[in-house]
Amino acid sequence: MSASAAAEATPSTDDVLLGRKVHVKVPATSANLGPGFDTLGLALAQYDEVEVEVVDSGLEIEVHGVGEGEVPLDASHLVVRAMAHTFARFGRELPPIRLVAHNSIPHGRGLGSSGAAIVAGVMAAKGLLAPEVEISPDGLLEVATELEGHPDNVAPALFGGLTIAWVTPEGPRHKKLMVHRGVSPLVLVPEHEMSTALARSLQPQSVPHEDAVFNVSRSALLVAALIQSPELLLAATEDKLHQSYRAEAMPETDRLIRRLREAGHPAVVSGAGPSILVLASDPSERADATSLVEETADTAWQALPLAVDFLGATVTPVDGD
């Protein structure tokens, strides 16, 4: 058989994948958790879901829920960009697809919406490429981190639970830990958004040595508090590295965190903000924190009592109609 005939006989990637369909579910995340700046992250039981099908031609996108009528419906859509990047990393070209997204993670609120979109795209690509291409957990984290820039949000979105993320010369790595069953997260979400880029721009290039030591001790304590000793969460969530520098950009968030902590609630900025994460040690404390915010906040805040997600992102094949 000639080379040209062999090429004609070999099915293209599009032909092989045509008709494949996957469903992806990705949890919200809260990064930093107070002292664990760019290192610690927690997966929360609030989800974005996407369904992706390989079709004959074109690109069709539907978005329902959060972001409907706001996010782009073309190749610049973050899920599509993440899929295309993942396909390219494994020497493939993204085929024509139909994507339907059902979003519930608030955008621009510090709950990992961009990380969730990236993870959704990476997982959708993994599902469509299997079994021809197998992507390891480290490979998933590496590809997602390339797009996100740092692994503290994408690690818990991928793997669930409490994650410690770090970067090595060989790429990003993570360790997943199970959270004590007494920990009862509460997320307080304001109506206004916060730019992650703006929040990071307020961060100094260097900090005092004593502040760095302070955060090392609190980060170590926080891991122990979350997995074993929830009664230590108030002390363990103290921070001197990032929250005070960003406070001027979100004064209402800062004021509420101070009031919550003065009342004994372990409250921190969720990710880059402006949402607040309260790591309550039981459901009654979570209810008390919600009441305090309702009584003292100057603006509207949505209270979301959320469980910890222990599973992380999932991708499952969908049988054709």
Flag whether 312 is marked binding: no
Closest CA to 89 of 49, 129, 148: 129
Is 273 annotated as belonging to a binding site? no
For 6, the 3-state DSSP assignment is helix
**Separation CA 106–CA 161 (nearest Å):** 20
- Of the candidate ranges 211-215, 235-239, 255-259, 271-275, the one whose mean pLDDT is the lowest: 211-215
Q: Which CATH class is domain 184-305?
A: alpha beta
Q: Is the pLDDT of residue 197 over 80?
A: no
Res. 231: pLDDT tops 50? yes
Determine if residue 150 is labeled as part of a ligand binding site: no
Q: What is the pLDDT of residue 3?
A: 37
Where are the CATH 3.30.230.10 domain residues in the chain? 14-177+309-317
Continuous segment of H or E residues that includes residue 121: helix 113-129
**Element housing 154 (H / E):** helix 154-159
Q: Is 17 annotated as a binding residue?
A: no
Lowest-pLDDT range of 24-33, 63-72, 128-137, 248-257: 248-257
pLDDT in tens, 121-131: 999 999 999 99
Q: What class is the 14-177+309-317 domain?
A: alpha beta
* From-to residues of CATH 3.30.70.890 in the chain: 184-305
Please write the tens of the pLDDT for every residue from 279-297. 999 999 999 999 999 999 9
Confirm whether residue 115 is marked as ligand binding: yes
Residue 116 assigned to a binding site:
yes
Q: Is 69 annotated as a binding residue?
A: no
171 marked as part of a ligand binding site: no
| Model pLDDT for residues 7-20, shown as the tens digit of each residue | 344 455 677 899 99
| pLDDT at position 174 | 97
**CA geometry: angle 104, 109, 111, nearest 5 deg:** 60
- pLDDT, averaged across the chain: 91
